[in-house]
Amino acid sequence: MEIVLQLAVPLVVVVSLLLLGSTVGRSRERRHFAELDRREEANRGFVLTDLRTVPVGMAPGGAALVTGATVIAADYLKTFLSGFRMIFGGEMRSYTPMIERARREARLRMVEDARRMGALAVINVRFETSPIALNSGRNTAPMAEILCYGTALLPADR
């Protein structure tokens, strides 16, 4: 009886912590998506392209490198549940929105950086995703850095 209690107490603590963390994380994710929608709406007219040439009709006077980056991590519960997904394969639906919001955030940071400089557009936009090892990787959730960079076209009168 005592042994069962000794095992059960830490287990309950761990599971409730995981559930609490995941719930908080989910609500923050929802809020972040709403914020992304709002900021993307504010930047709607801004020209963004992965073409390497200046858009037709634009006459910039200079250029500068702009970047935006985000490091994102999954929570422990997601990591644990995704272990089951690995058995059957298929889309990992818990990770897709995680990477998506990191990429949108990185892109918005780059755009906001460019607009602060008074840029006309950002061309040659590139995305890079790199997994980042925290410790030896056993007991941590997956982490990735998303980098978005491009060339901001500056107006001619500068």
Partner 1 sequence: MIVVNTETIPGYEIVEVKGLVQGNTIRAKHLGRDITASLKNLVGGELTQYTELLTESRRQAVERMIQQAQQLGADAVVNVRFTTSSIAAGAAELYAYGTAVNLVRVPSPGVAQAASAPAEPPRGAGGVASAPPPPPVVG
Instruction: Specify the residue, 105 or 111, whose C-beta has the smaller distance to partner 1.
Output: 105
Kindly give the residue spans of alpha helices, DSSP state H, lying in the chain: 2-42, 76-88, 96-116
Instruction: Specify the residue, 43 or 63, whose C-beta has the smaller distance to partner 1.
Output: 63
Q: What 3 state SS string does 105-121 have?
A: HHHHHHHHHHHHCCCCE
**CA-angle at 10, arms to 5 and 14, nearest 5°:** 145
SS3 68: strand
* Contact set with partner 1 (CB under 8 A): 17-18, 20-22, 24-25, 28-29, 32, 52-54, 56-57, 59-65, 67, 69-76, 78, 98, 102, 105, 123-124, 126, 128, 130-137, 140-141, 143, 145, 147, 149-151, 153, 156
Instruction: Specify the residue, 12 or 134, whose C-beta has the smaller distance to partner 1.
Output: 134
Q: How far is the CB of 1 from partner 1 (least distance, A)?
A: 31
Q: How far is the CB of 123 from partner 1 (least distance, A)?
A: 6
Q: How far is the CB of 23 from partner 1 (least distance, A)?
A: 9
CA torsion 21-27-28-33 (nearest 10°) is 140
SS3 64: strand
